[in-house]
Amino acid sequence: MTDIIELVLQDHHAVAGLFDKLQAATSADDQTELFAQVRDALERHASAEEKVLYPRVRKEVPDGREESKDAIEEHDQIREALKEVADHDAGTTVFWLAVDQLVATTKHHVGVEETGLLPDFRKNSDADERAELGRRFEEAKTKAPVS
Ligand SMILES: [Fe+2]
Ligand SMILES: [Fe+2]
């Protein structure tokens, strides 16, 4: 079983890689396909964090109530940004503006998790718990509702 923190970091890394590919893609077909992968990955990741990780953060981290509330608000901003990209044809100027917004919103949130929420959770949990949560996180990702 894998520590949930490792799994979350792996997802962040994978999404950053997808963003790079999307921003480098030259055909509208590739851009559409890569955006679909970004959307699927972000929706599953956010949903699984909300189901499996944040409830524990809320309970076990001293500032966890505030941290998880802010994180869910940031997820909602990411979901709005995803919708904005989906509303435009790939390759158009407005599509790229929406992609830029999505990348900035996601990077900000990932930074908050990696420098605050996750280290705080690591301090207030043990390896067995994090491994069990890792198993549940992977399961939640496969069952997440996606667009
Ligand atoms: Fe995350
Ligand atoms: Fe998150």
Q: Which residue in 96, 69, 66 sits closest to 84, CA to CA?
A: 96
Residue 112 pLDDT greater than 90, yes or no: yes
Residue numbers of the domain that contains 136: 4-143
As a whole number of angstroms, the distance between CA 127 and CA 2 comes to 9
pLDDT digit string (tens) for 18-45? 999 999 999 999 999 999 999 999 999 9
* Structural domains in the chain (count): 1
The per-residue pLDDT for 1 is 81
Q: Which residues surround ligand 1, an ion (CB under 5 A)?
A: 113
pLDDT of residue 80: 98
CATH number at residue 98: 1.20.120
Question: How deeply is 116 buried, as exposed, middle or buried, from its count of CB atoms within 10 A (0-12, 13-18, 19+)?
Answer: middle
User: Could you tell me the distance, in angstroms and rounded to a whole number, from the CA of residue 32 to the centre of ligand 1?
Assistant: 23
Q: What are the pLDDT digits (tens) for 59-98?
A: 999 999 999 999 999 999 999 999 999 999 999 999 999 9
pLDDT band at 130; cut points 50, 70, 90: very high
| CB-based contact 142:25 (threshold 8 Å) | no
Mean pLDDT of 1-25: 97
Identify the pLDDT of residue 145.
Answer: 86
106 CA distance to ligand 1 middle (Å): 9
- Rg (the chain; Cα; Å): 16
pLDDT at 144: 87
Centre of ligand 2 to C-alpha 21, Å, is: 21
| Per-residue pLDDT at 91 | 96
Q: What does pTM read for this prediction? A: 0.97
Q: How far is the CA of 42 from the centre of ligand 1 (A)?
A: 8
Q: 48: CA distance to ligand 2 center in Å?
A: 9
Banded model confidence at residue 146, pLDDT cuts 50, 70, 90: confident
